[in-house]
Amino acid sequence: MHAINYESPNTVADAVKLLAAHGEQARPLCGGTDLIIQLRAGVRRPSYVVDVKNIQEMRRIEFSMQQGLRLGAAVPCIEIYENSDMRKYYPGLTEAAHLIGSLQIQSRASVGGNLCNGSPAADTTPALIALGAKCRVIGPGGERIVAVEDFCTAPGRTVLQPGELLVEFHIPAPARNSSDAYLRFIPRNEMDIAVVGVGAAVTLDPSDDRISAARIGLGAVGPTPIFAREAAQALVGKRISDETIERAAQLAIAATSPIDDMRGTAEFRRHVTGVLTRRVLAKAIERARAAQTSR
Amino acid sequence: MAKKVVVEANINGEPIEFLCEPRQSLLEVLRDVLELTGSKEGCLTGDCGACTVIVNGRPLCSCLMLGVEAQGKTIQTVEGLAAPDRLHVLQQKFLEHASLQCGICTPGFLMSAKALLDRNPKPTEAEIRYALAGNLCRCTGYDKIVRAVADAAQTLASGQQPAGHLGSGPSATEQTERFLQEQEVK
């Protein structure tokens, strides 16, 4: 690995100051499960690495039914699935965090880092998109809010400008009759990169078994994670039925632009997008029905 | 070359101060600076688990952590497992079950297994396999390793043998397993 300088600020303001001072030469470090590999391979060559794990604001999980969730960008995956609010109110995002790598990786890797790495196959990103998560970004020019679906611009690239830091995610409190789910396809049971990943969140109208709101996020089927807007929209106001779900699955497939690679062909990815969309919607609906009685 | 940095950490129960370059991984620091060569270098990408150590109670790949990040941390490596006069029960059971051939993966497996048993003293076979999923063995195969860990857990639970001289930490794996079970129930 080339020589680097290491800084470990305790506040967002200090981190932004360091990142802004060194511009393109600086890179935030969180769990390091992507960055340290990239440094070693020479894929990224920053001269300054700014460790953000000692910034308390970026390490918190704060949830209330009034305010919703503030999830620090530097919270490691293991702390997400150890958190009872996360498991209860955001099971889809929780299972996505739980799918990433081994325990060794989950002890370090964060949802914020997963997004900032900019991989189209990031497991937590479709789950965040499904939940309507917003990113709080702070830079030398102040603060801005970016929807997760607008965050990635190309493989490995994001909207973050030099000096900007992803500090936390804001996620709305779940409605009484809502829930989420995430499923991915890999050719084995554990420890692989998604061939396709689909996240969904649904809100039900309990009076007549209709879907009153829905969001679907797709991973590994385009150059960036995808918000399948039309697919989700097709569910709204519809009674839950096989036809309704099939229609959403077809629209989800239409939203993809997959490639052939060693993990699967474009044709296979389109097919699996349909299969997973059906399954993940069924799972989210089942959980939302259960939430009606348990919350 | 960037300036060397002074780092203070607790390693295997001893407060230690070391000098390292920011570009050095914790694994390089352990092996090349502190001469703790038990942790092995395998893939250097976090896939094989041969470099697994326990930091503040969590198992992680020391090849994916910088040495400078160790500041203020409590680190356990395979060198800290055995007491001066006896092997840790996990080491003893690995021997009894012939859970190793070439041995390169063994320190990582031992540390992952220790992290598991510290947090979940009575793991099921599925829980053991899950906790060891981040460690690869290319010669013995996993069955004997899983049996050794199960046997070690049983021995510890029956109080026949003390664990070794490192204390037990609080439980993350326990909660992981609970989460997994909840998912299965659903």
User: Global pTM?
Assistant: 0.92
The type of residue at A72 is G
Read off the pLDDT of residues A148-206 as tens digits, 9 standing for 90 and up.
Answer: 999 999 999 999 999 999 999 999 999 999 999 999 999 988 888 999 999 999 999 98
The CATH number assigned to the domain holding A265 equals 3.30.390.50
The type of residue at A270 is R
Q: Give the residue from B8, B65, B66, B137 with the most A CB atoms within 10 Å of its CB, the best one to mutate.
A: B66
Same domain for A29 and A166?
A: yes
For B89-185, give the CATH class: mainly alpha
CA A179 vs CA A41, A96, A172, A249, B103: distances in Å: 40, 14, 12, 18, 46
Q: Do B66 and A82 touch (CB under 8 A)?
A: no
This complex has an ipTM of 0.94
* Residues of the domain holding A96: 5-119+133-171
Same domain for A82 and A112?
A: yes
Q: Give the total residue count for chain A.
A: 295
* Strand ordering across the sheet containing A68-72: A61-64, A68-72, A165-171, A134-139, A142-147
Q: Do B68 and A6 touch (CB under 8 A)?
A: yes
Read off the pLDDT of residues B125-166 as tens digits, 9 standing for 90 and up.
Answer: 999 999 999 999 999 889 999 999 999 999 999 986 655 544
Same domain for A66 and A112?
A: yes
Which residue of chain A comes nearest to B51, CA vs CA? A104
* SS3 state at B156: helix
- E strand spans, chain A: 5-7, 26-29, 48-51, 61-64, 68-72, 134-139, 142-147, 152-154, 157-158, 165-171, 178-185, 196-205, 210-219, 226-227
CA A243 vs CA A235, A237, A279, A285: distances in Å: 10, 14, 14, 15
Q: What CATH number belongs to B5-80?
A: 3.10.20.30
Q: Do B182 and A108 touch (CB under 8 A)?
A: no
| pLDDT tens, per residue, chain A with 295 residues | 899 999 999 999 999 999 999 999 999 999 999 999 999 999 999 999 999 999 999 999 999 999 999 999 999 999 999 999 999 999 999 999 999 999 999 999 999 999 999 999 999 999 999 999 999 999 999 999 999 999 999 999 999 999 999 999 999 999 999 999 999 999 988 888 999 999 999 999 988 789 999 999 999 999 999 999 999 999 999 999 999 999 999 999 999 999 999 999 999 999 999 999 999 999 999 999 998 777 6
Assigned domain for A125 exists: no
Q: Note the pLDDT of residue B173.
A: 46
The CATH number assigned to the domain holding A28 equals 3.30.465.10
Same domain for A244 and A222?
A: yes
Same domain for A213 and A114?
A: no
Query: Nearest-CA distance from A155 to chain B in Å?
Result: 20
Same domain for A104 and A189?
A: no
CB of A121 closer than 8 Å to CB of A197: yes
Same domain for A142 and A227?
A: no
Structural domain count, chain A? 2
Sequence-separated (6 or more) residues with CB below 8 Å from residue A101: A33, A109, A191, B46, B134
Give which of B95, B90, B92, B70 is closest to B12, Cα–Cα: B70
